[in-house]
């Protein structure tokens, strides 16, 4: 159920508010192009600058728009365990299929603190939970041994791994229970992670090229590694371009160029520099997403 190309979807804004109409359109675009799941209120969804009310509403809109056609994995992470429990309860009660919870940031908990954080949420809310390990943003790394302990909790079903470290990811797959789902958190590592036993990706590039990311994973699973490799290298320039500046700024700029959303991000994020915007535009045009 939780595998393949899962999009970490942007949250479109208009005049500083959540643009529900365009958000629903983005969800339809994703489903029409083969995306296997949707993550609202992740990093790419600018969860850090959504109010609690907006966060809840964005999750609710996503669940309503998807209508069970693909899984919804709601972002519910926080550096406060109490807040993570509240967000996760809301997602569960709203009808989300799973929760994605970033490792507690800023506090820098010990491995034991990380374990107790996820254990507390899992005991309070009977929803499948994916820890999200992204040391570049949180300042802490969740070790494979910690994930192995967490994998013994029945509703902690997998992990989004964004370390970019194949040695660590291989160890996670080796130590955790057999049905534990490892998803890539970096588009550029999807293909190698599939090779070592991963099941898919929570993707940024899927915001703008969902059919290609879904097609790469489908081709790999069908045994057509040549096609999968071709799609990987086709997407590589776009993968680079979507990180010319901090995610999701370039993704929103690209979607704006494609005519899908307004070009708005929330402070402290800001629009791309003119130089990088022109670089991005060239990549998007060369890719065939705009004329």
What does the pLDDT look like over 31-66, one tens digit per residue?
999 999 999 999 999 999 999 999 999 999 999 999
Residue 155: per-residue pLDDT? 97
Q: Could you tell me the residue ranges of all domains in the chain? A: 4-222
Residue 199: per-residue pLDDT? 98
Residue 219: per-residue pLDDT? 98
Mean pLDDT value across the chain: 97
Per-residue tokens: 44: 């790419």
Local confidence band at 1 (pLDDT 50, 70, 90 cut-offs):
confident
What does the pLDDT look like over 240-278, one tens digit per residue?
999 999 999 999 999 999 999 999 999 999 999 999 999
Residues with active-site annotation: 132, 160
Assess contact for 47 and 75: CB atoms under 8 A: yes
Percent of the chain predicted with pLDDT > 90: 100
Cα-flanking dihedrals φ and ψ of residue 101, to 5°?
Answer: -125, 110
Residue 37: per-residue pLDDT? 98
Residue 228: per-residue pLDDT? 98
Distance between CA atoms of residues 289 and 83, nearest Å: 39
Sign of CA dihedral 42, 45, 46, 47: negative
Residue 68: per-residue pLDDT? 97
Residue 112: per-residue pLDDT? 98
Local confidence band at 71 (pLDDT 50, 70, 90 cut-offs):
very high
Percent of the chain predicted with pLDDT > 70: 100
The CATH number that domain 4-222 falls under is 3.20.20.70
What does the pLDDT look like over 115-150, one tens digit per residue?
999 999 999 999 999 999 999 999 999 999 999 999
Sheet holding 181-184, edge to edge: 37-39, 4-8, 200-203, 181-184, 158-161, 129-133, 98-102, 73-75
Whether residue 11 has pLDDT greater than 90: yes
Residue 29: count other Cβ atoms within 10 Å of its Cβ: 19
Local confidence band at 93 (pLDDT 50, 70, 90 cut-offs):
very high
What does the pLDDT look like over 172-216, one tens digit per residue?
999 999 999 999 999 999 999 999 999 999 999 999 999 999 999
Stated as kind and residue range, the H or E segment containing 100 is strand 98-102
Q: Choose among 108, 106, 174, 173: nearest CA to 142.
A: 108
Residue 9: per-residue pLDDT? 98
Whether residue 24 has pLDDT greater than 90: yes
Whether residue 223 has pLDDT greater than 90: yes
Distance between CA atoms of residues 66 and 56, nearest Å: 16
Q: What integer is the mean pLDDT of 217-245?
A: 98
Residue 235: per-residue pLDDT? 98
Assess contact for 205 and 237: CB atoms under 8 A: no
């Amino acid at each position: 159920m939780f595998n393949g190309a899962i999009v970490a979807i942007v949250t479109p804004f208009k005049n500083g508010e959540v643009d529900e109409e365009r958000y629903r359109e983005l969800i339809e675009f994703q489903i029409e192009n083969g995306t296997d799941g949707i993550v609202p209120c992740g990093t790419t969804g600018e969860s850090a600058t959504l109010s609690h009310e907006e966060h809840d509403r964005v999750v609710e809109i996503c669940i309503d728009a998807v209508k069970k056609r693909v899984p919804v994995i709601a972002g519910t992470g926080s550096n406060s365990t109490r807040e993570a429990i509240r967000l996760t309860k809301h997602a569960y009660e709203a009808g989300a299929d799973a929760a994605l919870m970033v490792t507690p940031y800023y506090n820098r908990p010990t491995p034991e603190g990380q374990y107790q954080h996820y254990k507390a949420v899992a005991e309070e809310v009977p929803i499948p939970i994916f820890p999200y390990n992204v040391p570049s943003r949180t300042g802490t790394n969740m070790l494979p041994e910690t994930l192995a302990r967490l994998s013994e909790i029945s509703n902690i079903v997998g992990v989004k791994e964004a370390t970019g470290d194949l040695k660590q990811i291989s160890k996670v797959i080796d130590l955790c229970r057999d049905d534990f789902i490892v998803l890539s958190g970096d588009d550029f590592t999807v293909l190698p992670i599939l090779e070592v036993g991963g099941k898919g990706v929570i993707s940024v590039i899927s915001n703008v090229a969902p059919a290609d990311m879904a097609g790469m994973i489908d081709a790999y699973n069908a045994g057509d590694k040549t096609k999968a490799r071709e799609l990987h290298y086709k997407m590589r320039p776009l993968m680079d371009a979507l990180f010319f500046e901090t995610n999701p700024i370039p993704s929103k700029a690209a979607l704006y160029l494609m005519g899908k959303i307004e070009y708005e991000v929330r402070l402290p994020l800001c629009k791309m520099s003119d130089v990088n915007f022109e670089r991005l535009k060239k990549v998007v045009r060369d890719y065939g997403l705009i004329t």
